[in-house]
Amino acid sequence: MADAGVGSRPALSIGLAVYNGQRFVARALDSLLAQSFPNYELIISDDASTDRSNEICQSYVARDARIRYIRQPSNLGMYKNFDFLVNESRGPFYMWAAQDDEWDPDWCKVLMENMTEDAIISFGHVKLLGPARSILQLYKRPQFSKNEIWRTFQLFFQDFPWSIGSSPIYGICRRQSILDCPISKIEKLSRDSTDSLWVFTVGQRGHILTDDRVYHYKHAGHPKSNRPRILQRIREQVVVQHQVRMLTCFPLLARRWWLRPVFALLTPVRYLIRVCVSNIGLIRKVIARAQGSPLPDRSSR
């Protein structure tokens, strides 16, 4: 179990990156302040929001001494803001928090208890919230091998956040491991699935523990607009280019030198898997049309 901390130094630092988050940020702050694990600091970095985020966050600072609020003079971007928060933290353990997420009250307590000596990331389970906070989906909890090589292969084929609804990047990590691998440097390699590449890099250096006793709640995104087909097609081609760039980063980030050529050979396989997963709806339609059978109506479920 992680040390509870000594003196005024918090055992855990939570970094909340905010940008135009007035819709959900109050819920996120309420959820974080309701944590049963008391020994933490909460740092908010407002990335030059233009909505009421500043006003909302300042009202919480006045209520709880554990909160520090910093407003950026200009927009840093998501991952530079993430790194800023880590550099501002003081605890030996760290957790990134998203402005539109919520957590079970025991989330931090359970995850800190799971931070054994060989663990580098501690994570829980994910539920997707819909309107009126209804549960739309319970994602499958990932389990990672304690063996470094097997775990590296698991992380190579894992597709965060689509596979589990979120990413272990939002679990509790050892602060030093984040300082050793700034996420903004990973973003320079690829802006697509930066969190997957970061987890792949850090996850090779220690065990990733997951626990199904506590949940991390993600809010469903806005419904997609009906774009003209030609514009949608152009967008899909751009995404494919980003995917190719992202996948070529895995061999570069492999810790064991002999795994680099292995992952280089497996990259086309990984790409095909991702394309299939990303286009599963289209594949179902093609198969159904080929078989001459109608697709099941999911709206009636």
pLDDT per residue rounded down to tens, the chain (301 residues): 554 444 489 999 999 999 999 999 999 999 999 999 999 999 999 999 999 999 999 999 999 999 999 999 999 999 999 999 999 999 999 999 999 999 999 999 999 999 999 999 999 999 998 887 888 888 888 889 999 999 999 999 887 665 566 789 999 999 999 999 999 999 888 877 788 899 999 999 999 999 999 999 998 764 443 344 444 544 554 455 556 667 789 999 999 999 999 999 998 888 777 777 666 656 666 677 677 655 555 444 4
Q: How far is CA 247 from the centre of its chain?
A: 18
Distance separating the N- and C-terminal Cα atoms of the chain? 43
Of 204, 30, 213, nearest to 112 by C-alpha is 213
pLDDT of residue 220: 79
Nearest to 41 by CA among 89, 83, 103: 89
Structure tokens at 275: 């394309």
Task: Give the pLDDT confidence score for residue 223 in this predicted structure.
Answer: 40
Nearest Cα residue to 192 out of 257, 245, 120, 126? 245
Residue 171's pLDDT is 96
Query: Quick one: residue 72, left, alpha or beta (phi over 0 = left, psi -120 to 50 = alpha)?
Result: beta
Q: What is the pLDDT of residue 225?
A: 37
CA distance 172 to 124: 10
Q: Pick 12-219's CATH classification: 3.90.550.10, 3.40.30.10, 3.90.110.10, 3.30.70.1400.
A: 3.90.550.10
Where are the CATH 3.90.550.10 domain residues in the chain?
12-219
Three-state helix/strand/coil letters over 144-157: CCCCHHHHHHHHHH
Cα–Cα distance for residue pair 202/204, rounded to 1 Å: 5
Global confidence as pTM: 0.83
Tell me what pLDDT residue 277 has: 66
Identify any residues that bridge with 126 across adjacent strands, giving them in sequence order.
Answer: 216
Work out whether strand 172-174 and strand 93-98 pair parallel, antiparallel, or are unpaired. Answer: antiparallel
